[in-house]
Amino acid sequence: MSNFFSPISKDSYIFAKKGNPLFGTVQISGAKNMVTKIMTASLIATRGKLIIKNIPLIDEVFITLNLFDQLGVKYKINPDKSLEIEPGEFNSSRVRFATENESNRISLLLIVPIISRFGEAIVPRPGGCKIGKRKIDYHIKGLEAFGVKIMEKPGFLHMKLGKKGLRGSHFRLPFPSVGATENFIMAGVCAKGETIIDNCAVEPEIIELIKFLQNAGVEILIHGDRSIYIKGTNDIRLSEVVVIPDRVETISFAAAALSTKGDVFLRGARQDLMITSLGILEKMGAGIEVKEEGIRFFYKGPLKPVSVATDVYPGFPTDFQQPLGILLSQVKGRSLIHETIFEDRFGYLKVLNPLIVSGKRFVVGKTCPQGTRCRFWGKKRPHLSEIEGPVRFGEGQIYISDLRAGFALLNAACLSDGIKIYNLGLLFRGYENPVGKLKSLGANIELIR
């Protein structure tokens, strides 16, 4: 892990405690869930050079670059946070993760670039956050429809292409999965003929992937019913792409600031990427001022509790519920969060419960709210939380359970009598310099390496 952006050991921890309200300006970094997708999509091209601007300095990028090293892809990171990739001559069809901690979901997105070049690919099963079962059945079925033969082995996937190569397909996703949509878009580009994918996810980062491919010369269009049409081509022209600001980092800092009754300006944050989430914060009574260069979030009086259900875009994103959960813990009254995307994403509330020294413990239930039924209805998954604020967090130590929980726990620690947070690798996978940024806003926080 020595070349990671955030070198830490297993004993490293972050210590934070209650301080002044957060106040000041921070720069929002490029979106984690866009940059790695553009990186892998660039490998479809067989010549040219891509420059990705505004990359976030996060370990997810390094984990992906470690995979690039194994493939033999040429790349260079510049001091201005741009990444140059020359996909022309990569020379291996096999990759693996160095350790389980260094695994992510990106291995799935390497299948198409590798197999379309070599006719065969061996990639590790994806890792990533443990927030539910995270099955890969859509990926498997969809790729089979494109003509990929898949042999599932313990720990890895071995794939081969038949004599006809990748062929265009008409496939309907059972659920608008982000990763599967991205995978099939790439397969559609590399396949012979036309592809239609129905019931796609349309998160902003996917739209950016589509824009990138369109600019590279691909005939691709989105219909109003979430179906995407792609005409296969091997003429991909790489140039430049700029990574959009990270929506999840934005909401994480907004929630942290509001929970301390603060006032922050998030430079680079974009309203158009987060309409629903801004609407929820507005409904709660938060101060929001949208400016050309970013968004100001400020406390302007007592906030109100809310009930939200996470949903596919443009609904309220699952990645936002963890920052929101901590904010709601400081709001007087009873709030509900119904998690309908991942069936087990309330680990952060469970680890915080023992540290509550005044106020009610968080309740995580396995049913849907009365009168509603989501995909997890009747399956006894811990996907409904009841948060009754305000609560006060005392002293203690906790372990981060997943990436977004990581920042939520930092936020909780910044409201506490003093909490040590361990297992920082997960946090640094997705947030650029979170401690430095919180500190610059006045938080009482230290990283002890």
For ligand EPU, the closer CB: 18 or 134: 134
Instruction: Catalogue the E-assigned strands of 294-424.
Output: 294-298, 307-309, 333-338, 356-358, 363-365, 384-389, 392-393, 395-399, 418-422
Q: Which of 66, 117, 139, 184 binds ligand EPU (CB under 6 A)?
A: 139
Q: Does the protein bind ligand EPU through residue 318 (CB under 6 A)?
A: yes
For ligand EPU, the closer CB: 108 or 435: 108
CB of 105 to ligand EPU, least distance (A): 4
CB of 33 to ligand EPU, least distance (A): 4
For ligand EPU, the closer CB: 262 or 430: 430
Q: Does the protein bind ligand EPU through residue 247 (CB under 6 A)?
A: no
CB-based contact 394:385 (threshold 8 Å): no
Query: Per-residue x/- marks for ligand EPU, 97-126, CB under 6 A?
Result: --------x---------------------
Q: Which of 10, 133, 211, 283 binds ligand EPU (CB under 6 A)?
A: 133
Which residues, 198 to 217, sit near ligand EPU by CB under 6 A? Answer: 201
CB of 429 to ligand EPU, least distance (A): 8
For ligand EPU, the closer CB: 294 or 430: 430
CB-based contact 426:448 (threshold 8 Å): no
Q: Which of 125, 116, 110 is nearest to 70 (CA)?
A: 110
Would residue 200 show up in a list of annotated catalytic residues for this protein?
A: no
Taking the C-alpha atoms of residue 112 and residue 104, their distance in angstroms, rounded to an integer, is: 17
Q: Does the protein bind ligand EPU through residue 152 (CB under 6 A)?
A: no
Pairing mode, if any, of strands 294-298 and 263-267?
antiparallel
CB of 186 to ligand EPU, least distance (A): 13
Question: Which residues have CB under 8 Å from 69's CB, separation 6+?
Answer: none
Which residues, 249 to 308, sit near ligand EPU by CB under 6 A? Answer: none
Q: Give the full edge-to-edge strand order of the sheet including 50-53.
A: 74-77, 83-86, 50-53, 240-242
Which DSSP letter does residue 214 get? Answer: H
CB-based contact 319:404 (threshold 8 Å): yes
The three-class DSSP label of residue 292 is coil
Which residues, 33 to 92, sit near ligand EPU by CB under 6 A? Answer: 33
Q: Does the protein bind ligand EPU through residue 138 (CB under 6 A)?
A: yes
CB-based contact 374:338 (threshold 8 Å): yes
* Burial category of 91 from C-beta neighbours within 10 Å (exposed 0-12, middle 13-18, buried 19 and up): exposed
Tokens 């003429």 appear where? 235
Largest Cα–Cα separation, the chain: 66
Q: Report the run of H or E that residue 295 belongs to, with start and end.
A: strand 294-298
Q: Does the protein bind ligand EPU through residue 421 (CB under 6 A)?
A: no
For ligand EPU, the closer CB: 103 or 233: 103
Taking CB under 6 A as the binding criterion, the range among 176-184, 188-196, 259-267, 290-298 that sits at the site for ligand EPU is 176-184
Q: Which of 30, 124, 168, 179 binds ligand EPU (CB under 6 A)?
A: 179
Which residues, 329 to 368, sit near ligand EPU by CB under 6 A? Answer: 341-342
Tokens 């892809």 appear where? 73
Catalytic residue, chosen from 129, 190, 200, 374, is: 129
CA R_g for the chain: 22
Six-digit token string for 219: 């005939």
CB of 132 to ligand EPU, least distance (A): 5
Taking CB under 6 A as the binding criterion, the range among 177-185, 220-228, 290-298, 324-332 that sits at the site for ligand EPU is 177-185
Q: Does the protein bind ligand EPU through residue 130 (CB under 6 A)?
A: no
**Residue 254 CB neighbours (<10 A):** 28
Q: How far is CA 295 from the centre of its chain?
A: 21
Q: Which of 403, 408, 438, 447 binds ligand EPU (CB under 6 A)?
A: 403
**Residue 420 CB neighbours (<10 A):** 15
Taking CB under 6 A as the binding criterion, the range among 95-103, 132-140, 212-220, 300-308 that sits at the site for ligand EPU is 132-140
**Residue 395 CB neighbours (<10 A):** 12
For ligand EPU, the closer CB: 265 or 313: 313
Q: Which of 8, 26, 71, 129 binds ligand EPU (CB under 6 A)?
A: 129
Tokens 């009168």 appear where? 371
Taking the C-alpha atoms of residue 293 and residue 77, their distance in angstroms, rounded to an integer, is: 26
For ligand EPU, the closer CB: 182 or 263: 182
Tokens 């691909």 appear where? 218
Q: Site for ligand EPU (CB under 6 A): how many residues?
A: 25
Six-digit token string for 447: 């990283």
Q: Which of 404, 425, 428, 432 binds ligand EPU (CB under 6 A)?
A: 404
Catalytic positions are: 129
Binding site for ligand EPU (CB under 6 A): 32-33, 105, 129, 132-139, 175, 177-180, 201, 318-319, 341-342, 403-404, 430
